Amino acid sequence: MLACQKHLFSLPDEIAYLNCAYMSPNAEPVELAGYHGVAKKNLPFEVGIPDFFEPTDKLRQLFTQLIHGDDAERVAIIPSVSYGMAAVVKNVKAKPGQNIVVIEEIFPSNYYPWKRLADETGAEIRLVKAPAFPLPAGQSRGEIWNQSLLEAIDDQTVAAALPHVHWADGTLFDLEAVRRKTREVGALLVVDGTQSVGALPFDLRKIQPDALICAGYKWLLGPYGLGLAWYGEHFDEGVPVEENWINRLDSHNFQALVNYQPAYRPKAQRYSMGENSQFIAVPMLTAALELVLGWGVQNIQDYAGALSAPYFERLKKMGCWVENEGHRSGHLTGVRLPAGVNPEGLKTAAAEAGVFVSFRGNAVRVSTHIFNDEQDFERLTAVFEKSLT
């Protein structure tokens, strides 16, 4: 089991930051990488051609390692999930009568691009609703939701666009089962890994998605405005969102850039954003991924789950609802208040106690990383006790 790594972060002792799903704090090596990146532009004459390519090559290799891939040319550098999804949707065909399967309250950046495709083609957005409370006796909400998801995919499904865990409450989705179903019907599987990759193991060899899109500023512990995406064979000859010089073949040869090149760099590199060299943000995200890989994603998941589980049991005894362990992630969990309890009181109590969580839909979202400790959860539990008694 990993030890708490709070010493690497600048979080004050008097607050409990249980909100990594909102935005991660910078670890010390990530902060230092950013400072060095800022200083690099002080002497622009020292920025050479390799600086445009070698750092991004390293970043793509690290991300490939993180998701258990074997080909860094399948990784693109993107500014946001919406950008990465736009590249996906631009290369998906649909027609009237077909459908795109998404889950209820999916994060907007994984909904709006598909809604645009549906509106333009006459296809249907098939929204798989979350199970309503009260739940049938003996059944887990996540179990019911996953079954409904599989039933929604049929021979008219173009794509299933899903997260690994629900961004609001941490419900786990069985992506391997979804992959089997989508393969049976000839549909794509597109995964938004923003709230999972880096804290929950993701294995390309097992899940085999057609695309995986991740923002970098949450569980990858990187800066805001930079993300990573993996694109499978379906997208090898696709059209990118933008046409930029650096994604073209032989773009390393600055002198020959005026000899316009029709061919793109291999595979997913065509989907990287313009100015993807990002002399500040790329070193920061690189330092962050090195930390995550050094700790081990399974170790991060085990730490978060072991730390939070006893406290969630205490919240259940207060009348709160928390998903069963087998159907929730260890790092991101939604706590639902007892019927009739106004969440505004809990918000006020949390703010007064310096406890940082998120309120998403009707869930209190608690997100745990290895900078959290028992003291953080004692403070969280005290806030619930004050608000519910």
Terminal C-alpha separation, the chain? 35
Among the listed residues 123, 139, 120, the one whose alpha carbon sits nearest the alpha carbon of residue 131: 139
Q: Please give the helix or strand (H or E) that residue 190 lies within, else none.
A: strand 188-192
Cα(17)–Cα(304) distance, integer angstroms: 13
Instruction: Give the bridge partners for 363, in sequence order.
Output: 360
Domains of the chain, CATH where assigned:
6-27+297-388 (3.90.1150.10), 44-294 (3.40.640.10)
pLDDT of residue 24: 98
pLDDT of residue 75: 98
Instruction: Give the bridge partners for 230, in sequence order.
Output: 75, 212
pLDDT of residue 293: 98
Q: Please give the helix or strand (H or E) that residue 305 lies within, else none.
A: helix 297-317
**If you search the block for the tokens 């085990």, which residue do you land on?**
302
Residue 331 φ then ψ, to 5°: -95, -20
Per-residue pLDDT of the chain (389 residues; tens, 9 = 90+): 899 999 999 999 999 999 999 999 999 999 999 999 999 999 999 999 999 999 999 999 999 999 999 999 999 999 999 999 999 999 999 999 999 999 998 999 999 999 999 999 999 999 999 998 888 887 899 999 999 999 999 999 999 999 999 998 899 999 999 999 999 999 999 999 999 999 999 999 999 999 999 999 999 999 999 999 999 999 999 999 999 999 999 999 999 999 999 999 999 999 999 999 999 999 999 999 999 999 999 999 999 999 999 999 999 999 999 999 889 999 999 999 998 888 898 999 999 999 999 997 678 999 999 999 999 999 999 999 999 87
Q: Residue 312 is encoded by which pair of tokens? A: 């969630």
Residues listed for the chain: 389
Cα(353)–Cα(347) distance, integer angstroms: 10
The total of other beta-carbon atoms located within 10 Å of residue 339's CB is 9
Cα(357)–Cα(336) distance, integer angstroms: 13
Among the listed residues 232, 282, 294, the one whose alpha carbon sits nearest the alpha carbon of residue 59: 282
CA distances in angstroms from 87 to 10, 160, 239, listed in the order given = 36, 16, 8
Cα(211)–Cα(189) distance, integer angstroms: 7
* Residues 268 and 64: beta-carbon distance below 8 Å: no
pLDDT of residue 341: 86
Instruction: Give the bridge partners for 188, in sequence order.
Output: 159
Instruction: Give the bridge partners for 322, in sequence order.
Output: 335
Buried/exposed code over 245-284 (b: 16+ C-beta within 10 A; e: otherwise)? ebbbeebeeeeeeeeeeeebbebbbbbbbeebbbbbbbbb
Q: Distance between alpha carbon 46 and the CA centroid of its chain, in Å?
A: 35
Q: Please give the helix or strand (H or E) that residue 93 lies within, else none.
A: none
Cα(353)–Cα(355) distance, integer angstroms: 5
Q: Is the peptide bond preceding residue 134 cis, with omega within 30 degrees of 0?
A: yes
Contacts of 241-248 with CB under 8 Å at 24 or more apart are: 241/83, 241/86, 241/87, 241/90, 241/271, 241/273, 242/273, 242/274, 244/273, 244/274, 244/275, 245/274, 246/52, 246/272, 246/274, 246/275, 246/276, 246/277, 247/271, 247/272
Position 326, amino acid? G
Q: Residue 147 is encoded by which pair of tokens? A: 């079954």
